[in-house]
A and B are shown apart, each in its own frame.
Chain A
Amino acid sequence: MTTAAVELPAPRDTVAAKILRFVAKAPMHLFLVALGALWLVPTIGLFITSILPASSLASSGWWQIFTHPSLATWSNYDKLFHNEGLLSALKTTAYIAVGNTILVVIIGSLAGYAFAWLDFPGRDWIFIGVIALLVVPLQMALIPMFRLYDTFGIFDTVISIILFHTAFGLPFAIFLLRNFFVGLPKDILESARIDGASEIVIFVRLILPLGLPAIASLAIFQFLWTWNDLIVALTFGQNVQPITVWIFGQLREFGTSIDVIAPASFISLVIPLCVFFAFQRYFVQGLLAGSVK
Chain B
Amino acid sequence: MVAAPPGSDPAGRARYLTGALFLGPAFVLLGVWMVYPAVYTIIRSFFGRTGYLGTWVGGSNYVRLFTTHTLIRAIENNVIWVAVVPALVTAIGLIFAVLTERVSWAVAFKTAVFLPMAISAFATGVTWRILYQQDPDVGAINALGRSAASLVSAPGVLHTALPSTPTLQTRNGAVVLKAPLQPGRSVSLGLTGIPPQDVPSGAQQAVQPKAQSGAIDGVVWRDFKPGGGKPGVVEQGELGLPGVTVQVKDASGKTRSATTGKDGTFSFDNLPSGTYHASIGAQTFSKPFNGYSWLGPKLITPSLLIAYIWIWAGFAMVVIGAGLAAMPRDVLEAARTDGATEWQTFRRVTVPLLAPVLSVVFITMIINVLKVFDLVISLAPESTQANANVIALAMWRTAFGGANDFGTGSAIAVFLFVLVVPVLALNIRRFKRDV
Contact = CB atoms under 8 A, between A and B. Distances in A.
Contacts of A57: 138
A235 B400 CA distance: 7
B37 A141 contact: yes
B431 A143 contact: no
Interface string B413-434: 1101100110110011011100
Given A57-B138, A130-B30, A118 B18 contact: yes
Contacts of B143: 61, 63
A288 B4 CA distance: 35
B127 A167 contact: no
B162 interface: no
Interface string A96-118: 00000000001110110110011
B382 interface: yes
Contacts of B148: none
Contacts of B392: 137, 139, 231
Nearest to A203: B22
B354 interface: no
B319 A36 contact: no
Interface string A22-50: 00010011011001110111110110010
Interface string A242-276: 00100110011010001001100110110011011
Contact of A32 (B99, B313, B382): B99
Contacts of A258: 130
Contact of A254 (B30, B35, B381, B409): B381
Interface stretch (B59-67, B106-114, B223-231): B106-114
Contacts of B413: 137, 139-140, 142-143
Most buried by A among B25, B37, B139, B322: B37
B77 to A, nearest CB: 16
Given A62-B130, A110-B21, A174-B26, A244 B115 contact: no
A142 B399 contact: yes
Nearest to B120: A228
A113 B409 CA distance: 37
A29 B243 CA distance: 45
Contact of B432 (A128, A135, A265, A287): A128
A95 interface: no
Contacts of A77: none
Interface residues of B, number: 99
A57 B100 CA distance: 37
Contacts of B18: 118, 198-200
A217 interface: no
A205 interface: no
Contact of A251 (B23, B44, B118, B378): B378
A170 B29 contact: yes
Contacts of A170: 26, 29-30
Contacts of A108: 26
B412 interface: yes
B138 A135 contact: no
Nearest to A236: B400
B116 A39 contact: yes
A207 to B, nearest CB: 11
A291 interface: yes
Contacts of B38: 136, 140-141
A36 B108 contact: yes
Contacts of B382: 252
A266 B41 CA distance: 37
24 contacts: A36-B108, A45-B140, A114-B23, A133-B35, A137-B420, A139-B395, A139-B412, A139-B413, A139-B416, A144-B36, A147-B52, A163-B29, A167-B34, A170-B30, A228-B120, A228-B123, A230-B378, A231-B373, A254-B129, A276-B118, A280-B111, A288-B319, A288-B322, A291-B360
Nearest first, the 9 closest Cβ-Cβ pairs linking A and B are A167-B33, A228-B120, A276-B118, A141-B37, A144-B37, A111-B26, A114-B22, A36-B112, A139-B413
